Amino acid sequence: MSPRVRAKAQAPRLLLGASSLELPARTTRDRALEVAGRFREPESLAVTLVKALDAGAEAVYSGPSSTLRAALAELRRPVPVLARLPHTPPSEDLFHEPWLTRDPGDDSAAWNSMRASLAGLSMPVAAMRGDLAARIAGRMEQERDTLGAKSIAGLAVSSPLTDLALAAGNAKFFDQVLRFGRARFGGLAGFETRNLGYLLSQLEAWGIEPDFVIGPVNPRGFGMVPGPAQVIAAVKRLGIPVVASELRAGGTVLLADGARYALENGVTGLLPELVDLDDVAGELRGLSALAR
């Protein structure tokens, strides 16, 4: 089934970002250290996750971090996780090879993808042909399993891979990974990017409709590539659901102001990170009301 004719899944309206626990976030070092310290105990993060869901967050957005895994293990209640994959730890900078060419386990991507569903059955052949989506399919399933989540809400392809394939003009990758993600990650699949304006325009040109795209939108234009005007124009023009990240513009605007600006400019969902929140339940409740 083509992504274009598929019935549209509901794009997320409010996510809680937990990537900043292990990945560098665009905030001050002091703030990042403070928040990491706050959630050092898994119980403390577990309580925060439950409060976030009760306050209106639909899922937690994160890669396979050990901190999140420990917190999820504390809870009997399933916490939906929108998986940010493939995982890209910052320590990869110690190695010359691209992280995706270094196998995280013993299995090859092609072998792993044989275990996949109908959507994944074409992957071994594709991997032998050298298709990017097939090469990473097994890796993403392996990383999803290490999350330890009882409930997977969907797949968001992480920005380093999205932007690499975008720059190379690899339309087939976007099409294939959407099919794979929808079949193997709970029905919802999209992309995270640092080049939101380009990605939206290119997806339109290719006729590819993800369930959502995650990218920076904020009143300062911080991280909005190629520029705030071009990004906002693409968001408004194209109708692809956009979940706004970097709402606080590196800590320079209030979260509510960032959210209001994003929603007024056409985004459909909000992604505040843990480093953006002090009163997690209270602030998410406020954002939930705005995003409704």
Are 176 and 131 in contact, with CB atoms under 8 Å apart? yes
Nearest distance from residue 137's CB to another protein, in Å? 12
Residue closer to another protein, measured from CB, 198 or 212:
198
d(CA 205, CA 150): 37
- Other beta carbons within 10 Å of 74: 15
Helix, coil or strand: residue 49: helix
Nearest distance from residue 289's CB to another protein, in Å? 26
Nearest distance from residue 234's CB to another protein, in Å? 8
Nearest distance from residue 28's CB to another protein, in Å? 5
Tokens of 187: 């029905």
Residue closer to another protein, measured from CB, 71 or 249:
249
Are 254 and 277 in contact, with CB atoms under 8 Å apart? no
Phi (first) and psi of residue 48, to 5 degrees? -65, -40
Residue closer to another protein, measured from CB, 12 or 174:
174
Are 155 and 64 in contact, with CB atoms under 8 Å apart? no
Residue closer to another protein, measured from CB, 57 or 244:
244
Nearest distance from residue 248's CB to another protein, in Å? 9
> Which residues contact another protein by CB under 8 A?
22-24, 26, 28-30, 32-33, 36, 89-101, 130-132, 135, 163-170, 172-173, 194-195, 197-198, 201-202, 220, 222-223, 225-227, 230, 249-252
Helix, coil or strand: residue 174: helix
DSSP letter assigned to residue 261: H
Residue closer to another protein, measured from CB, 125 or 289:
125
* Element (DSSP H or E) covering residue 144: helix 132-147
Phi (first) and psi of residue 241, to 5 degrees? -60, 125
d(CA 124, CA 42): 38
Nearest distance from residue 241's CB to another protein, in Å? 20
Residue closer to another protein, measured from CB, 111 or 282:
111
